[in-house]
């Protein structure tokens, strides 16, 4: 094992830049190659991180100096690029969602199993300190028996580019920012045993608005309400949790990142509301922490913090929501 694993980042758009920063400040890995079909991004990123730069990601995958690959591409490319990378013997961190269907997830799982490499998901919000603290409070019984979870998301305007094509994105808002709500729901309340949704448009037209009902294995109920119909440019997300003895309110980590701070990160109700101090980082730090945990898993040959089966389950739940 080298002192620092050589990392290649494929896709240098919004999140690819955060992956590069995360690896650059990580212990045990460093960026050595970047790839994107956008030549300007290749030039600027390879200059900033002193890496090789490729316009064709096949060349990055084949490069012997690359041991770990981050896939930061539009969703429909996750499956072919992940499979090519694992067949080349590379460890892979895939951005959410794992793929655009359960069938594709299974192709990735099969390829990863025979390649004996480590493949994990970038579900960064479970590394956000206020989410971690909320889970600790729930698990310790601080709110009694968890009964109700609401994950709210309102974005002021639909994201453009590849996200407007449901064949590329996998659907609409549920298959993009919605993904974070599904894995966060499982992280906080455990397995989801029943899911259904109403949407403004079918998946194949790319829904802009969805209300998802959840039933958890512990008997609790949940709601994900997500929409692109907020006032222009606004971003609002929040998590509300109710138990028999208390409640928690989390002002959204993405809203804070987007400049829409709506209050303290975490509040606890136990007869009165208290603002809880949660030391630690913000959304960008959660990406870096997620990357560090993945690097640690690769270096110690351990199961990644977010394994493939978790990425598959989230895609399965979204497909169940569309079906219901």
Ligand X SMILES: NC(=O)c1ccc[n+]([C@@H]2O[C@H](COP(=O)([O-])OP(=O)(O)OC[C@H]3O[C@@H](n4cnc5c(N)ncnc54)[C@H](O)[C@@H]3O)[C@@H](O)[C@H]2O)c1
Which residues contact residue 108 at a Cβ distance below 8 angstroms, ignoring those fewer than 6 apart?
78, 79, 82, 83, 86, 94, 98, 99, 119, 308
Nearer to ligand X by Cβ, of 96 and 312: the residue is 96
Nearer to ligand X by Cβ, of 130 and 220: the residue is 130
Dihedral, 144, 277, 187, 237 alpha carbons, nearest 10 = 110
Nearer to ligand X by Cβ, of 32 and 143: the residue is 32
Nearer to ligand X by Cβ, of 72 and 318: the residue is 72
Q: How far apart are CA 235 and CA 121, in angstroms?
A: 24
CB of 215 to ligand X, least distance (A): 26
CB of 115 to ligand X, least distance (A): 21
Host H or E run for residue 61: helix 57-62
Residue nearest to ligand X (CB): 13
- At which residue do the structure tokens 């659907």 appear? 171
CB of 256 to ligand X, least distance (A): 13
Nearer to ligand X by Cβ, of 12 and 268: the residue is 12
Where on the chain is the footprint of ligand X (CB under 6 A)? 11-16, 35-38, 41, 57, 72-75, 77, 95-96, 122, 124, 161, 176
Nearer to ligand X by Cβ, of 147 and 226: the residue is 226
Nearer to ligand X by Cβ, of 37 and 43: the residue is 37
- At which residue do the structure tokens 């809880």 appear? 276
| Concatenated DSSP letters of 113-127 | HHHT--EEEE-GGGG
CB of 287 to ligand X, least distance (A): 6
CB of 77 to ligand X, least distance (A): 6
Is the separation of the CB atoms in 238 and 249 below 8 Å? yes
Is the separation of the CB atoms in 68 and 6 below 8 Å? yes
Conformation bin of residue 259: beta by default, left when phi > 0, alpha when psi is -120 to 50: left
CB of 107 to ligand X, least distance (A): 17
Radius of gyration of the chain (CA): 19
CB of 275 to ligand X, least distance (A): 25
């Amino acid at each position: 094992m080298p002192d620092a694993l050589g990392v290649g980042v494929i896709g240098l758009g919004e999140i690819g830049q955060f992956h590069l920063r995360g690896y650059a400040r990580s212990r045990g890995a460093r960026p050595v190659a970047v790839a994107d079909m956008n030549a300007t991004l290749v030039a600027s990123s390879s200059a900033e991180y002193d890496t090789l730069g490729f316009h064709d990601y096949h060349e990055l995958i084949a490069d012997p100096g690359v041991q770990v690959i981050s896939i930061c591409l539009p969703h429909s490319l996750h499956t072919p690029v992940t499979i090519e990378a694992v067949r080349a013997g590379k460890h892979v961190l895939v951005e959410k969602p794992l793929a655009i269907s359960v069938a594709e997830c299974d192709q990735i799982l099969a390829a990863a199993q025979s390649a004996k490499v480590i493949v994990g998901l970038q579900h960064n919000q479970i590394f956000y300190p206020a989410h971690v603290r909320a889970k600790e409070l729930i698990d310790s019984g601080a709110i009694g028996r968890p009964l109700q979870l609401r994950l709210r998301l309102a974005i002021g305007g639909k994201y453009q580019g590849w996200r407007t094509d449901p064949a590329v994105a996998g659907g609409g808002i549920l298959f993009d920012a919605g993904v974070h709500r599904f894995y966060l729901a499982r992280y906080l309340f455990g397995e989801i045993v029943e899911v259904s949704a109403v949407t403004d448009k079918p998946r194949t037209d790319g829904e802009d608005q969805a209300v998802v009902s959840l039933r958890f294995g512990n008997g609790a109920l949940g709601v994900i309400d997500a929409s692109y119909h907020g006032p222009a440019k606004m971003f609002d997300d929040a998590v509300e949790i109710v138990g028999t003895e208390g409640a928690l309110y989390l002002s959204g980590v993405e809203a804070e990142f987007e400049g829409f701070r709506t209050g303290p990160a975490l509040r606890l109700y136990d007869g009165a509301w208290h603002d809880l101090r949660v030391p630690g980082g913000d959304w960008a730090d959660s990406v870096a922490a997620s990357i560090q945990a993945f690097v640690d898993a690769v270096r110690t040959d351990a199961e990644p913090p977010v394994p493939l089966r978790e990425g598959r389950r989230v895609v399965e739940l979204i497909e169940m929501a569309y079906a219901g």
